[in-house]
A and B are shown apart, each in its own frame.
Chain A
Protein backbone atom coordinates (compact mmCIF):
# COMPACT_ATOMS: atom_id res chain seq x y z
CA UNK A 1 0.00 0.00 0.00
CA UNK A 2 0.89 3.64 -0.18
CA UNK A 3 3.11 5.19 2.47
CA UNK A 4 2.36 8.11 4.72
CA UNK A 5 5.22 9.39 6.81
CA UNK A 6 4.60 11.35 9.98
CA UNK A 7 7.31 13.25 11.81
CA UNK A 8 8.29 13.40 14.58
CA UNK A 9 7.16 10.12 16.07
CA UNK A 10 7.35 11.62 19.54
CA UNK A 11 8.01 15.05 21.00
CA UNK A 12 8.23 16.54 24.45
CA UNK A 13 7.77 20.27 24.78
CA UNK A 14 7.37 22.85 27.47
CA UNK A 15 4.02 24.37 28.25
CA UNK A 16 3.43 27.51 26.22
CA UNK A 17 5.56 26.53 23.25
CA UNK A 18 4.34 25.49 19.80
CA UNK A 19 4.92 22.17 18.14
CA UNK A 20 4.70 21.32 14.45
CA UNK A 21 3.88 17.85 13.18
CA UNK A 22 4.44 16.92 9.55
CA UNK A 23 2.53 14.44 7.46
CA UNK A 24 3.87 13.44 4.07
CA UNK A 25 2.51 11.15 1.40
CA UNK A 26 5.62 9.53 -0.04
CA UNK A 27 4.44 7.81 -3.19
CA UNK A 28 1.17 9.46 -4.09
CA UNK A 29 -0.42 12.86 -4.20
CA UNK A 30 -2.87 13.43 -1.41
CA UNK A 31 -5.72 15.74 -2.30
CA UNK A 32 -7.12 15.36 1.19
CA UNK A 33 -5.50 14.86 4.56
CA UNK A 34 -7.17 14.18 7.87
CA UNK A 35 -5.87 14.85 11.36
CA UNK A 36 -6.91 12.82 14.38
CA UNK A 37 -6.07 12.79 18.05
CA UNK A 38 -6.32 9.84 20.35
CA UNK A 39 -6.37 9.91 24.13
CA UNK A 40 -5.24 6.83 26.06
CA UNK A 41 -7.60 3.90 25.70
CA UNK A 42 -9.93 5.90 23.49
CA UNK A 43 -10.61 5.82 19.79
CA UNK A 44 -9.46 8.28 17.15
CA UNK A 45 -11.27 11.58 17.10
CA UNK A 46 -11.32 13.46 13.82
CA UNK A 47 -10.00 16.98 14.34
CA UNK A 48 -10.00 18.44 10.86
CA UNK A 49 -10.01 17.76 7.15
CA UNK A 50 -7.69 19.63 4.84
CA UNK A 51 -7.79 19.79 1.08
CA UNK A 52 -4.74 20.95 -0.80
CA UNK A 53 -4.73 24.68 -1.36
CA UNK A 54 -7.74 25.48 0.78
CA UNK A 55 -8.47 26.12 4.43
CA UNK A 56 -8.97 23.19 6.73
CA UNK A 57 -12.44 22.25 7.89
CA UNK A 58 -12.51 21.69 11.63
CA UNK A 59 -14.81 19.38 13.51
CA UNK A 60 -17.11 20.83 16.10
CA UNK A 61 -15.32 21.60 19.33
CA UNK A 62 -11.83 21.76 17.82
CA UNK A 63 -10.16 25.16 18.20
CA UNK A 64 -8.83 26.20 14.83
CA UNK A 65 -6.60 28.89 16.32
CA UNK A 66 -4.96 26.36 18.58
CA UNK A 67 -4.53 23.61 16.02
CA UNK A 68 -3.23 25.24 12.87
CA UNK A 69 -3.35 23.07 9.78
CA UNK A 70 -1.56 23.85 6.57
CA UNK A 71 -1.87 21.74 3.43
CA UNK A 72 0.34 23.70 1.08
CA UNK A 73 1.23 20.92 -1.31
CA UNK A 74 -0.17 17.62 -2.53
CA UNK A 75 2.33 15.69 -0.45
CA UNK A 76 2.59 17.65 2.78
CA UNK A 77 0.27 18.75 5.54
CA UNK A 78 1.33 20.17 8.87
CA UNK A 79 -0.42 20.44 12.21
CA UNK A 80 0.88 23.07 14.61
CA UNK A 81 -0.22 22.91 18.21
CA UNK A 82 0.11 26.47 19.41
CA UNK A 83 0.76 27.47 23.02
CA UNK A 84 0.67 23.85 24.05
CA UNK A 85 -0.61 22.87 27.47
CA UNK A 86 -0.47 19.57 29.33
CA UNK A 87 -4.06 18.79 28.32
CA UNK A 88 -2.90 18.82 24.68
CA UNK A 89 -0.74 15.79 25.40
CA UNK A 90 -2.07 13.10 23.14
CA UNK A 91 -1.36 10.83 20.21
CA UNK A 92 -1.86 12.65 16.91
CA UNK A 93 -2.34 10.70 13.67
CA UNK A 94 -2.63 11.93 10.12
CA UNK A 95 -4.23 10.24 7.18
CA UNK A 96 -3.99 10.91 3.46
CA UNK A 97 -6.38 10.14 0.63
CA UNK A 98 -5.47 10.37 -3.02
CA UNK A 99 -8.85 11.14 -4.46
CA UNK A 100 -12.17 12.46 -3.25
CA UNK A 101 -15.17 10.25 -3.82
CA UNK A 102 -16.61 10.68 -7.27
CA UNK A 103 -13.35 11.81 -8.85
CA UNK A 104 -12.25 8.35 -9.85
CA UNK A 105 -9.27 6.53 -8.47
CA UNK A 106 -8.74 5.08 -5.05
CA UNK A 107 -10.42 6.70 -2.08
CA UNK A 108 -8.58 4.46 0.35
CA UNK A 109 -7.02 6.28 3.29
CA UNK A 110 -3.48 5.65 4.43
CA UNK A 111 -2.32 6.49 7.90
CA UNK A 112 0.88 7.77 9.37
CA UNK A 113 2.38 6.06 12.38
CA UNK A 114 1.39 8.83 14.72
CA UNK A 115 3.10 11.43 16.89
CA UNK A 116 3.04 11.18 20.64
CA UNK A 117 3.04 14.68 22.10
CA UNK A 118 3.85 15.23 25.75
CA UNK A 119 3.59 18.74 27.12
CA UNK A 120 5.35 19.31 30.44
Chain B
Protein backbone atom coordinates (compact mmCIF):
# COMPACT_ATOMS: atom_id res chain seq x y z
CA UNK B 1 0.00 0.00 0.00
CA UNK B 2 1.16 3.45 -0.89
CA UNK B 3 1.95 5.80 1.94
CA UNK B 4 1.34 9.36 0.87
CA UNK B 5 2.56 12.30 2.90
CA UNK B 6 1.73 15.93 2.32
CA UNK B 7 3.62 18.84 3.81
CA UNK B 8 2.68 21.27 5.23
CA UNK B 9 -0.55 20.08 6.80
CA UNK B 10 -1.83 23.64 6.93
CA UNK B 11 -0.78 26.94 5.44
CA UNK B 12 -2.07 30.45 6.02
CA UNK B 13 -0.71 33.19 3.80
CA UNK B 14 -1.61 36.70 2.67
CA UNK B 15 -3.01 37.14 -0.79
CA UNK B 16 -0.46 37.36 -3.61
CA UNK B 17 2.14 34.97 -2.28
CA UNK B 18 3.59 32.14 -4.33
CA UNK B 19 3.09 28.81 -2.63
CA UNK B 20 4.69 25.39 -2.60
CA UNK B 21 2.81 22.28 -1.55
CA UNK B 22 4.71 19.03 -1.22
CA UNK B 23 3.68 15.43 -1.70
CA UNK B 24 5.78 12.32 -1.21
CA UNK B 25 4.90 8.69 -1.79
CA UNK B 26 6.62 5.45 -0.92
CA UNK B 27 6.25 3.43 -4.10
CA UNK B 28 7.68 5.14 -7.17
CA UNK B 29 6.08 2.72 -9.65
CA UNK B 30 3.19 5.03 -10.39
CA UNK B 31 1.36 5.57 -13.66
CA UNK B 32 0.45 9.15 -13.01
CA UNK B 33 -0.37 11.52 -10.19
CA UNK B 34 -3.32 13.84 -9.76
CA UNK B 35 -3.71 16.93 -7.66
CA UNK B 36 -7.16 17.82 -6.38
CA UNK B 37 -8.76 20.51 -4.35
CA UNK B 38 -11.58 19.92 -1.93
CA UNK B 39 -13.76 22.64 -0.53
CA UNK B 40 -15.35 22.04 2.90
CA UNK B 41 -18.12 19.47 2.73
CA UNK B 42 -17.70 19.04 -1.01
CA UNK B 43 -16.31 16.50 -3.43
CA UNK B 44 -13.05 16.67 -5.30
CA UNK B 45 -12.10 18.91 -8.15
CA UNK B 46 -9.27 17.66 -10.34
CA UNK B 47 -6.59 20.31 -10.85
CA UNK B 48 -3.77 18.63 -12.70
CA UNK B 49 -2.88 15.21 -14.00
CA UNK B 50 0.79 14.54 -14.53
CA UNK B 51 1.87 11.39 -16.27
CA UNK B 52 4.77 9.32 -14.95
CA UNK B 53 6.76 10.20 -18.06
CA UNK B 54 6.31 13.92 -17.51
CA UNK B 55 8.35 16.21 -15.33
CA UNK B 56 5.75 18.92 -14.97
CA UNK B 57 2.31 20.08 -15.96
CA UNK B 58 0.84 23.56 -15.93
CA UNK B 59 -2.67 24.95 -15.77
CA UNK B 60 -3.05 28.67 -15.31
CA UNK B 61 -1.45 29.69 -12.01
CA UNK B 62 -0.86 26.08 -11.07
CA UNK B 63 2.24 24.07 -11.87
CA UNK B 64 2.85 20.51 -10.75
CA UNK B 65 6.22 18.83 -10.92
CA UNK B 66 6.95 15.15 -10.56
CA UNK B 67 10.13 13.35 -9.61
CA UNK B 68 9.03 9.79 -9.89
CA UNK B 69 12.35 8.23 -8.92
CA UNK B 70 12.41 10.02 -5.59
CA UNK B 71 8.68 9.68 -5.01
CA UNK B 72 7.91 13.38 -4.88
CA UNK B 73 5.55 15.85 -6.44
CA UNK B 74 5.20 19.55 -5.83
CA UNK B 75 2.30 21.85 -6.55
CA UNK B 76 3.17 25.48 -7.11
CA UNK B 77 0.46 28.09 -6.82
CA UNK B 78 1.41 31.50 -8.18
CA UNK B 79 -0.06 34.77 -6.97
CA UNK B 80 -2.42 33.12 -4.51
CA UNK B 81 -5.96 34.44 -4.15
CA UNK B 82 -8.60 34.04 -1.41
CA UNK B 83 -10.53 31.79 -3.79
CA UNK B 84 -7.65 29.33 -3.64
CA UNK B 85 -8.51 28.58 -0.02
CA UNK B 86 -9.29 24.86 0.16
CA UNK B 87 -7.67 21.55 1.02
CA UNK B 88 -5.27 20.29 -1.62
CA UNK B 89 -4.83 16.57 -2.04
CA UNK B 90 -2.36 14.58 -4.08
CA UNK B 91 -3.12 11.09 -5.30
CA UNK B 92 -0.42 8.95 -6.89
CA UNK B 93 -1.93 6.36 -9.18
CA UNK B 94 -0.56 2.93 -8.49
CA UNK B 95 -3.39 0.99 -10.10
CA UNK B 96 -5.34 2.43 -7.21
CA UNK B 97 -5.44 5.96 -5.93
CA UNK B 98 -4.28 6.61 -2.40
CA UNK B 99 -4.58 10.04 -0.94
CA UNK B 100 -2.38 12.10 1.27
CA UNK B 101 -3.85 13.81 4.29
CA UNK B 102 -3.90 17.06 2.39
CA UNK B 103 -2.68 20.61 2.84
CA UNK B 104 -5.29 23.00 4.15
CA UNK B 105 -4.67 26.36 2.56
CA UNK B 106 -6.06 29.66 3.77
CA UNK B 107 -5.33 32.72 1.66
CA UNK B 108 -6.15 35.91 3.52
CA UNK B 109 -7.39 38.98 1.65
Q: Which B residues are in CB contact (< 8 Å) with A91?
A: 41
Please pick, from A42, A108, A110, A116, the residue contacting B41 in the complex, using a CB distance under 8 A: A116
Total residue contacts A-B, CB cutoff 8 A: 53
Q: Are B32 and A108 in contact (CB under 8 A)?
A: yes
Segment at the interface with B among A13-21, A43-51, A62-70, A79-87:
A43-51
- For window 74-120 of A, CB contacts with B under 8 Å fall at 91, 93, 95, 100-101, 107-114, 116
Contacts of B36 in A (CB 8 A): 111
Interface size (B, Cβ < 8 Å)? 22
Number of interface residues of A (CB under 8 A): 26
Which listed residue (B32, B42, B89, B95) contacts A44, Cβ 8 A?
B89
How many angstroms from the CA of A60 to the CA of B98 in the assembled complex?
13
Neighbouring B residues of A59 by C-beta, 8 Å:
1
Q: How many angstroms from the CA of A46 to the CA of B95 in the assembled complex? A: 12
Which residue of the partner chain B has the closest CB to A108?
Answer: B49
- Asked if B77 CB lies within 8 Å of chain A CBs, one says no
**Known contacts A44-B89, A93-B44: A109-B34 contact under CB 8 Å:** yes
Report the minimal beta-carbon distance from A55 to chain B, rounded to whole angstroms.
16
Tell me the minimal C-beta distance from B73 to chain A in angstroms: 15
Interface of B is mostly: loop
> Is there a chain A Cβ closer than 8 Å to B46's Cβ?
yes
Which residues on the B side are within 8 Å of A93 (C-beta)?
43-44
Of the residues A43, A46, A100, A111, contact of B102 by C-beta under 8 Å: A43
- Cα-based distance from A108 to B33 in the complex (angstroms): 9
Complex Cα gap A45–B91 (Å) = 11
Contact flag A111-B43 (CB < 8 Å), given A43-B89, A44-B89: yes
Interface of B with A (CB < 8 Å)? 1, 31-32, 34, 36, 41-44, 46, 49, 89, 91, 93, 95-102
Can you spell out 18 A-B residue pairs with CB atoms less than 8 angstroms apart? Answer: A34-B97, A36-B99, A43-B101, A44-B44, A46-B96, A46-B99, A49-B96, A59-B1, A60-B1, A93-B44, A95-B97, A101-B31, A108-B46, A109-B91, A109-B93, A111-B36, A111-B46, A114-B42
